[in-house]
Amino acid sequence: MGEYWSKMSYRLRYSRSLSLDYEVRGLSNYSLSCCVNALLQSFSATTELLDILNKWHPSDGIDEKNVPLQLKNALEAMRDKSHPAPHKNFLNCLYHQAIRRSTQQDADEIFHMILNLSQKQMPDVAVAQEIRSLYEIKVETQVVCSECTYIHRISNSLFSLPLAICEGENTLESCINSFFKLQKLVDSDKFYCDRCDEKQPSTHEVKLISLPPILCVNLKRFRNEDGFTRKLYDKVAFPETFSTAIFAAGQSENTASNCLKADQHYSLYAVIVHIGTSMFGHYTAYINSAQDQTWCYADDSCVRKATWTDVKDTYGGYRGSRATAYLLLYRKMSLNSSG
């Protein structure tokens, strides 16, 4: 009875999320669909996404190959235990216009592709913007000419934060610090200054403008060297929760964004795992269950209970280990949430 009331309390607390009440369910593998399967698990756990899609009421004549339509249908069907193949139409939709069957995919590329197509093919402009705002990370690249001090500013937005990995041991914070670190552009890396009308020694820096409600982090484990791609198995330790203070390194007090000044917090709820090498691999997902706040492991059609210790095993750095975290999805914690 105590467990029942605990679950009821959790559901009432998050009553604004219309689609929260679901269980992680397995997805059959069709034509090497493990990458999309793992991503669908993360999209399903992102209950805010289905809430947004449910604001859209598709017309009867909409194309069956429409990505947001099939994504909406798949996420709804994943909550129906009686549905035999909740994601098959979504896969066929992607196979028709975006990805090839029986081909290995990169999870970060497919993640971006699904979100981009969901925006472009969404006829409701307001809903399309909400989808974008849910994941959009806004940054500004600043290149300062060392000769004339002119600042070249380039605004950009990302759906995932691409963090390079150093060989050896890493932490999420060290990777973030490296991404925002000031770099000197000299010799062959000189930057063309519009004001000087020639290449000049410069400094390059990325400034954080804003963070989204759902923050996706891409641990860049694949490196191209001399035309060959290899996978980095080095350790990257990441926390269950973190404060935006970890983004503050390198951000001056004058240029620090409001999200840093507010010291907001994020909680991990999904991890996309890559198993194998750069040439042959498989994707699975760890999902923090919305119903009882415990971890589940989804490997295509197989779903089992897991622990935070299991998730930490994907840090990498273990000899012989081939299962490493590749995408991390964090949710911004509300001011009245505990933890």
Q: Which residues make beta-bridge pairs with 306? A: 295
Which H/E stretch holds residue 70?
Answer: helix 67-77
Q: Could you give the C-alpha distances from 94 to 81, 122, 310, 320, in angstroms and in order?
A: 23, 15, 31, 34
According to DSSP, residue 246 is labeled G
> pLDDT at residue 192 above 50?
yes
Give CA angle at 179 (177, 181), nearest 5°: 65
DSSP string over 134-188: HHPEEEEEEEEETTT-PEEEEEEEESSEEEE--SSEEEHHHHHHHHT--EEE-GG
What pLDDT is recorded for position 259? 62
Spell out the residues 6+ positions from residue 15 whose beta carbon is closer than 8 angstroms to its own. Answer: none
Going by their DSSP bridges, the two strands 191-193 and 198-200 should be labelled as: antiparallel
Q: Chain-centre distance of CA 87, in angstroms?
A: 20
Encode pLDDT of 34-89 as tens digits: 999 999 999 999 999 999 999 999 987 888 899 999 999 999 999 988 888 899 99
Domain coordinates of the chain in residue numbers?
11-332
What pLDDT is recorded for position 321? 67
Encode pLDDT of 145-165 as tens digits: 999 999 999 999 999 999 999
- The number of C-alpha atoms within 13 Å of 282 and in the hemisphere containing its C-beta is 9
Give CA angle at 108 (106, 112), nearest 5°: 115
- Best CA proximity match to 84, nearest among 27, 159, 153: 27
3-state secondary structure of 197: coil
The superfamily in CATH containing domain 11-332 is Cysteine proteinases (3.90.70.10)
Q: What is the rounded distance in angstroms from the CA atom of residue 174 to the CA atom of residue 189?
A: 24
